[in-house]
Amino acid sequence: MYRDKVKTVNPLVKNFQNPFQKRQQPWVVFAISIFTVLLLSGVVSVNASSAGEIWVANMKGANVQIIDSDSNQVVKTIATGAGAHNVTFSPDGKLAYIANLGTNSITIIDAVSKEKLADVVTDTKAHDVAVSPDGKTAVACNVGAGNITFIDVASKKATHTMATGKKAITAVFSHDGNTLYVVNAGAANISLVDVETKKVTQTRQGAKGAMAIKPTRDWNQFWLTAPADDKLLLLNSRTGALEASIDVPGEPHGLVHSPDGKTVYVGQRKLGQIAMIDTASRKITKTTALGQRPDMIDISSDGKTLYVAIRDENKLAVVSAADLSLTMKVDTDGETHGVAYRD
């Protein structure tokens, strides 16, 4: 984490009363001394801070800002490229990938040290990044070119670019990493790409203007936004068949599942609000107004807090996941779009 973990000595140790007041046992004194040294040296940590980080990409700011989840304060700003759009973490949380629409590139950042490692040129309007389950491959979706670019993470170099469909906008790897599902928002379809051969093996139904695709916990289904039709689609991940269609007015955009999979949260950009959807009944159970043009959304790992980019206000909304009540808004830096949470 970016915040230094403060190591505090347990008061029970600090104020230790020797139970053998009259006859001190040498082994007791020795054990206490060793434990105290370990505490002070940081080898043993007691009551360490558990704050998380919210990474926010700012298009006009051309940067990513890191916000501490305890204080809700910006603690670091890192320059990326013009049109910094979406944020993706590696599976282990050690690398961050920022897609830059304006510079047709991907910025790779060491998420631990907060140092920029590379800017990888991809193709026109790099919009989003997907990372393989083993963390070895990143794929940029280039919405302006209708193609995707494979990036070798070890060398931080682009290795292959291939066409998928009009407005290739976002993608997700299968749980085994063998297949990449690419959402082509302009073509209203989904390309299945064999990761080894770099060939499109199948084209399935998608949605016009689709922005987000999220698998269920068991990987049996995909949730897909269909903003042009004001719907969320539930697709069978094995066959691509449409299993359900949920009415979500106001241009559904950003989408995230709760950690337990029981709830989906989706931004309604034209209505300036977010909606809570029960995944069992597939119905909206609550909505809350947040501001002008709520965009991407992420959720804390404990499932208690939502973080929503309010694009036209240059703010990040901090929202209770339980009842969608607004906790506060944090000032950000110029057309905020991408949001990602990291422990």
- pLDDT(77) > 90: yes
DSSP assignment string, 228-274: GGTEEEEEETTT--EEEEEE--S-EEEEEE-TTSSEEEEEEGGGTEE
Same domain for 194 and 214, yes or no, is no
Residues 85 and 147 both lie in one domain: yes
Least confident of 49-53, 138-142, 158-162, 225-229: 49-53
Query: pTM (2 decimals)?
Result: 0.86
Query: Does 65 map to a domain?
Result: no
Checking if the pLDDT of 8 tops 80, the result is no
* Lowest-pLDDT range of 27-31, 147-151, 261-265: 27-31
Averaged pLDDT for residues 279-303 = 97
Section 313-317 average pLDDT: 97
pLDDT score for 50: 64
Confidence of residue 63 (pLDDT cuts 50, 70, 90): very high
One domain for residues 115 and 172: yes
**What would the pLDDT profile of 87-146 be if each residue is shown by its tens digit?**
999 999 999 999 999 999 999 999 999 999 999 999 999 999 999 999 999 999 999 999
Per cent of the chain over pLDDT 70 is 85
CATH number where 246 lies: 2.130.10.10
Range scoring the smallest mean pLDDT among 48-57, 236-245, 309-318: 48-57
Tell me, yes or no, whether 221 and 342 share the same domain.
yes
Instruction: Verify that 222 and 336 share a domain, yes or no.
Output: yes
Q: Judge whether residue 85 has pLDDT over 90.
A: yes
4 falls within a domain: yes
- DSSP 8-state secondary structure symbol assigned to residue 335: S
Note whether residue 123 is domain-resident: yes
Specify whether 239 is located in the same domain as 251: yes
Per-residue pLDDT, 7? 37
Cβ-Cβ contacts under 8 Å for 261 (sequence gap 6 or more): 216, 217, 279
Q: Indicate whether 167 and 275 sit together in one domain.
A: no
Give the mean pLDDT of 21-45.
45
The whole-chain average pLDDT of the chain stands at 89
Structural domain containing residue 3: 1-49
* 140 & 245 share domain: no
Phi/psi at 56 (nearest 5 deg)? -125, 125
Tell me: do 33 and 98 sit in the same domain: no
Reference 168, options 132, 200, 134, 136; nearest CA is 200
Q: What is the pLDDT of residue 51?
A: 86
19 or 306, which is more confident: 306
Is the pLDDT score of 156 beyond 90? yes
For residue 336, what are the β-bridge partners? 58
Domain count across the chain: 3
Answer yes or no: is 142 within a domain.
yes
